[in-house]
Amino acid sequence: MQRFSAASYGLVVSLVLPIISAAQSKAFGDLLTSLTGRVLIEGDNVAASQVSIELRRVAENWRATAFTECDGDFRIDGVLEGTYLISANVPGRVPLEETLRVEYGAPPLLLRLRRNNAVRVNNSTSLVSVHELSLLEKARKAFDKGNHFLAAKNLAASISQYYIAMKAFPDFYEAY
């Protein structure tokens, strides 16, 4: 029976260990993917430019934000496979929020934004007031603040913030 010397054993370990380490790190890297998609205006099928896209991992404190380009396309790189909330937000449209499963090799998303009937356009001048456009942003901030208080188990403060969101923007269905 042949015995290996300590030097031979060390040589084998030094050659095999990096291969095992690389295989393990590659397996983790394979879990990362990119989320791509396009945002269209419902009814018109027109690309929505400069729409804020936010991706939040469910039950974790990870989020990423991107904006659509002029053709409505967006891309978020470095995303772990898993379950996420995706939201698309632009003034004058109903905010979109959906739950989705991100997996390697998934096809691009297609998100459609609906017209927000709460924003009134003065037909004679085709102008929208800054106040009307800021209502949605105020509601979103109050809603996010309510979620923060809820996570901190402060129910009274969270309900108060949800009420503010509903008052600022009555069509804000998430706050109900």
- Tens of each residue's pLDDT in the chain, 176 residues: 556 565 555 544 455 445 444 444 445 545 789 999 999 988 878 898 889 999 999 888 899 999 999 999 999 999 999 999 999 988 778 889 999 999 998 999 999 998 776 545 444 555 655 555 566 777 778 888 888 888 888 888 888 888 888 777 666 555 44
Q: What is the CATH number of domain 31-116?
A: 2.60.40.10
| Residue 145: exposure state from Cβ atoms within 10 A (0-12, 13-18, ≥19) | middle
Looking at this protein, which amino acid is placed at residue 140?
R
With the C-alpha atoms ordered 112, 64, 131, 70, is the resulting torsion angle positive or negative? Answer: negative
Q: Which of 57, 170, 165, 138 is nearest to 157 (CA)?
A: 165
DSSP string for 56-125: EETTSS-EEEEE--TTSEEEEEEEESEEEEEEEE-TTB--EEEEEEE-TTPPPEEEEEPB-TTS--BTTT
Model pTM greater than 0.95? no
- Domains of the chain: which residue ranges? 1-30, 31-116, 117-176
